[in-house]
């Protein structure tokens, strides 16, 4: 068990190194994927941390990562919109949004949220050793499996509830997908289910992007020409997601296999 928990600590510290690399890329403006990679790393970090709640410093780390994710969310939305505008030749509309985005990068790198997250990550090894001395890692793998299965069952409940919005389903799919990647094998998903998670997240991501762009277009006159196309793409993305969501709904046989784990 000590070996497994130390492997988890190593995984978290590797993600810290990746975060620092993303910040350096963002500061040097080396490429257009630095913020995206930073946010993916944050999601990977939170996927490792959520099932570890109850261990020292974990909940504080998860909250700090969530705060940084929230701070960077609108910037990533702007990046995606700018790429869309450039792709369709709307260069002036894209250019108008680029300067505020650069200011946002600088604000993120100087933010209290980022400083606080790195401060907590730096303190984590000491708290992890304390958890070992207090035997808090005993039974960790069994607890992880139980908590991961609860995430899958929560997604199943959402997929079978007509009152749950596509946006909420998208967030739950992302959570399950990243948790499955973080703890490979513990959730017990088949390769087909893993593929469907990726496909459904992509389709609902396209749907969500168009939904956001249409909301922005209500305020920004330079986007009005895109409304018709975005509405068509919104509907198409949702229709593409429906059979994928249906495939993700647990069949009786796969549910029995999961419950037997």
The alpha carbons of the chain give a radius of gyration, in whole angstroms, of 20
Sign of the dihedral defined by the CA atoms of residues 150, 53, 120, 18, in that order: negative
Q: Quick: pLDDT tens for 189-204.
A: 889 899 999 999 999 9
At residue 111, the 3 state secondary structure works out as: coil
Residue 255 pLDDT level (bands cut at 50, 70, 90): very low
pTM here is: 0.89
pLDDT of residue 20: 98
Q: Encode pLDDT of 198-240 as tens digits.
A: 999 999 999 999 999 999 999 999 999 999 999 999 999 999 9
Q: Please state, in angstroms and rounded to a whole number, the distance separating the CA atoms of residues 158 and 142.
A: 25
């Amino acid at each position: 068990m000590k070996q497994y928990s130390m492997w988890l600590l190593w995984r978290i510290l590797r993600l810290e190194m990746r975060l620092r690399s993303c910040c350096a890329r963002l500061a040097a403006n080396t490429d257009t994927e630095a913020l995206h990679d930073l946010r993916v790393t944050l999601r990977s970090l939170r996927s490792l941390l959520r099932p570890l709640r109850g261990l020292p410093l974990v909940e504080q780390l998860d909250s700090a990562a969530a705060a940084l994710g929230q701070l960077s969310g609108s910037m990533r939305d702007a990046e995606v919109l700018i790429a869309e505008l450039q792709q369709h030749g709307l260069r002036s509309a894209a250019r108008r949004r680029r300067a505020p985005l650069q200011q946002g990068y600088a604000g993120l790198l100087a933010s209290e949220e980022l400083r606080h997250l790195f401060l907590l990550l730096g303190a984590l090894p000491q708290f992890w050793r304390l958890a070992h001395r207090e035997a808090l890692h005993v039974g960790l793998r069994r607890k992880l499996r139980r908590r991961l299965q609860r995430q899958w069952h929560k997604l199943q409940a959402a997929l079978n509830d007509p009152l749950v919005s596509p946006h909420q389903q998208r967030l739950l799919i992302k959570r399950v997908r990243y948790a499955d990647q973080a703890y490979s094998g513990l959730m017990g998903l088949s390769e087909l289910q893993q593929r469907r998670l990726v496909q459904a997240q992509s389709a609902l991501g396209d749907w969500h992007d168009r939904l956001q762009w249409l909301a922005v277009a209500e305020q920004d006159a330079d986007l009005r020409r895109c409304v018709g196309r975005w509405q068509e793409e919104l509907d198409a993305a949702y229709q593409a997601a429906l059979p994928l969501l249906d495939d993700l709904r647990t069949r009786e046989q796969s549910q029995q296999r999961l419950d037997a784990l």
